[in-house]
Amino acid sequence: MRLKEDVNPLLLQVFRSVVWVYSFITFLPCLPALACSLFPGCPTLDLVFRHAAERFPHRDCLGTRQVLGEEDESQPNGKVFRKVILGEYVWQSYEEVYQAARHLGSGLAALGQKPHHNIAIFCETRAEWLITAQACFMHNFPLVTLYATLGGPAIAHGLNQTEVTHIVTSRDLLQTRLKDILLEVPTLQHIIVVDGKPSTWEGFPRGIHMHNMATVQELGTKPENLTSPHSQPRPSDIAVIMYTSGSTGVPKGVMISHGNIIAGITGMAERIPNLGENDTYIGYLPLAHVLELSAELVCVSHGCRIGYSSPHTLADQSTKIKKGSQGDASILRPTLMAAVPEIMDRIYKNVMLKVEEMSRVQRTMFTLAYNYKMEQLCLGNSTPLCDGLVFRKVRSLLGGQTRVLLSGGAPLSAATQRFMNICFCCPVGQGYGLTETCGAGTISQMWDYSTGRVGAPLVCSEIALRDWEEGGYLSTDRPHPRGEILIGGPNVSMGYYKDPARNQQDFFVDGNGQRWFCTGDIGEVLPDGCLKIIDRKKDLVKLQAGEYVSLGKVEAALKNCPLVDNICAYANSDQSYVIGFVVPNQKQLLALAEQRRVRGSWEELCSSAEMEAEMLQLITETAIAAKLERFEIPRKIRLSAEPWTPETGLVTDAFKLKRKELKTHYLQDIERLYGGK
């Protein structure tokens, strides 16, 4: 089956924050001020949520699906998996969520939590997470966020660096992650558990007081606590200290003010058409990630409802959904959804595998409809007949009502973006931003179906390029200027917590008083003012013969190979070629092994020199089709039987590769592939 490539992209409108490029940076003081406020009179996050609660008091706000039970389900291969039996969504209204946050904040204050003193949350994405955040915003408690998949040393580092005395967590994470490091965090005094009855648990250090959230909220309803005065935050006060997922060493705590977040979500909201109280958002990405937190704050500020899910229960085919039962998306039927490319790549490959299994007639019909719709989209035309007859079943995987998909966290491949546009019958807004910029920078317009671009700057941001001579990227390059991307605006964060040296290196303030962040990403400015991410400084390796290889570029191209679920390209500067570590698609590799008559278990197949050679040939064909240079194509590979998940520590919660950890994990293989023993 062959799907057509992009036809000519639509001509985009040029926005106010058009990228301008000179040899370094040119500032235009005559331009109007950047947007930094959602609603008049609401300069802080607590006032934004109060505004929403007053406008939509009885509207559904946060929804959680009922867990009716669990049972074991035997698989064809003999393995047994634990599945959950789920019911309907139960909703809390805006007024109920507002009061829950108000009572929790008062209860935390009664337990000794002070304004301007840090409090941590270490919890899965759920309604209690956002309620805790709103409680902290109301009482001016800076909220320290930590990924639920961080290892013990990283958790202890974040808690000790911020000197927290109170932490909010879940029963499961307390038992599996926190319990073993509590003695390493001497400042910790109170643990608030969002579920269960911690008073019945044993084995915790003395001096640490255990509470559940309901008890703390009840404490907050007492008149003397509820009416006690509390510190009203200012826009410049810290709202969140967000620890990064640690793709390069120890996680860094990014200090984000109320004003920073409001500026960021103002820019994001402007790029989502018709955002309002009729929208439903599905929340399942880590709330400790800036993409998910920003998306949810955008939604609650506009009266949308948020239904919570998880990657394990998202769709009907998800790992914890009982066979024959419906996943969360089928029940919730969201209109808005955010996703990282890793998740969309999986959806794309799974659907295309099913297409390959269709009869010849069905496959031909699908291909014709796919190519026809691509042509019509680029002409600005709709295709209701194709949508209803051909793509309806694919669209139902996400509930059938999705009207906007927002992609962030990493580059999205052109093939996957086209697939989501066509088969899910909704636009994909590809965004670019970092924790240091509150996730805001650019988002493509929803009517732009071109690929490989991340859109024009948001109304809260300005973009400039800085020459990087070592890498050969200059703002004077033709036909398009290139260089390191710098993001400026009120959404640029306050810097890293207790790290003045890195702050001086990565942030600066210009002569007009505007703050800028140096991203380390390499961008190219297109004629219509849109940005294209083409490289990253840290991903660029110089080979022995002097050629520069962009590892990220190689990985993005090779992920389009149907047999590749994930890949990490690697190169040593004292070597003349690239190697790769590959997580193969199990179904495809087993089929290939059967075709080549190679026998063995999954682990044996992944260790087979013959299968490595077969995979390398297919990867090379994909690389040539993607027009990679000869020196960019991996010459040797190693297959991994185990997938890379945040739990393995080899990728972040946003599924970005942890190159240092991957290098350590595959050190013996690196030596073998480069000619060692």
- Whether 637 has a pLDDT exceeding 70, the answer reads yes
pLDDT at residue 78 in the model = 65
Cβ count near 6 (within 10 Å): 14
- Mean pLDDT for 563-583 is 92
pLDDT at residue 247 in the model = 53
pLDDT in tens, 534-551: 888 888 888 877 787 889
State the Cα–Cα distance between residues 236 and 451, nearest whole angstrom: 37
28-31 long-range contacts, CB within 8 A, separation 24+: 29/512
Which residues face 487 on adjacent strands? Answer: 463, 517
Helices (H), 238-287: 258-270
Cβ count near 621 (within 10 Å): 11
- Whether 245 has a pLDDT exceeding 80, the answer reads no
Which residues face 462 on adjacent strands? Answer: 488
Angle at 353 between CA 348 and CA 357, to 5 degrees: 145
**Mean pLDDT rounded to a whole number for the chain:** 88
pLDDT at residue 446 in the model = 86
Side-chain-side CA neighbours of 511 within 13 Å: the count stands at: 5
- Whether 3 has a pLDDT exceeding 60, the answer reads no
pLDDT in tens, 336-385: 999 988 888 888 888 888 888 889 999 999 999 999 999 998 888 889 99
Q: Taking a C-beta distance cutoff of 8 angstroms, is the pair 535, 521 a contact?
A: yes
Tokens standing for residue 649: 């520590």
pLDDT in tens, 174-202: 999 898 899 999 999 999 999 977 655 66
Q: Taking a C-beta distance cutoff of 8 angstroms, is the pair 580, 634 a contact?
A: yes
Angle at 347 between CA 354 and CA 320, to 5 degrees: 95
* Model pTM score: 0.85
The owner of tokens 């969309």 is 344
State the Cα–Cα distance between residues 311 and 344, nearest whole angstrom: 12
Instruction: Tell me, rounded to whole angstroms, the distance of Cα 365 from its chain centroid.
Output: 34
Q: Taking a C-beta distance cutoff of 8 angstroms, is the pair 494, 415 a contact?
A: no
pLDDT at residue 80 in the model = 74
Q: Taking a C-beta distance cutoff of 8 angstroms, is the pair 101, 135 a contact?
A: yes
- Whether 151 has a pLDDT exceeding 90, the answer reads no
State the Cα–Cα distance between residues 237 and 247, nearest whole angstrom: 28
pLDDT at residue 675 in the model = 80
Query: Residue 209's pLDDT band (boundaries 50, 70, 90)?
Result: very high
Residue 22 DSSP label? -
Residue predicted with more confidence, 396 or 653: 396
Return the sign of the alpha-carbon dihedral for residues 654, 655, 656, 662: positive
Give percent above pLDDT 70 in the chain.
93
Give percent above pLDDT 90 in the chain.
65
Query: Residue 602's pLDDT band (boundaries 50, 70, 90)?
Result: very high
Helices (H), 125-226: 127-139, 152-162, 171-173, 213-220, 223-226
3-class state of residue 354 by DSSP:
helix
* Sequential DSSP letters for 508-571: EE-TTS-EEEEEEEEEEE-TTS-EEEEEEGGGEEE-TTS-EEEHHHHHHHHTTSTTEEEEEEE-
Tally helices (H) and strands (E) across the chain: 22, 27
pLDDT at residue 75 in the model = 67
- Shortest CA distance to 89 belongs to which of 274, 340, 283, 275? 283
- Whether 500 has a pLDDT exceeding 60, the answer reads yes
pLDDT at residue 300 in the model = 98
* Sequential DSSP letters for 491-524: TS--EETT-HHHHHHHEEE-TTS-EEEEEEEEEE
- Whether 246 has a pLDDT exceeding 80, the answer reads no
pLDDT at residue 276 in the model = 95
pLDDT in tens, 578-592: 999 999 998 899 999
- Mean pLDDT for 289-318 is 95
Pairing of strands 515-525, 531-536: antiparallel
Side-chain-side CA neighbours of 79 within 13 Å: the count stands at: 5
163: left (phi over 0), alpha (psi -120 to 50) or beta: left
pLDDT at residue 633 in the model = 94
Cβ count near 575 (within 10 Å): 18
pLDDT at residue 249 in the model = 62
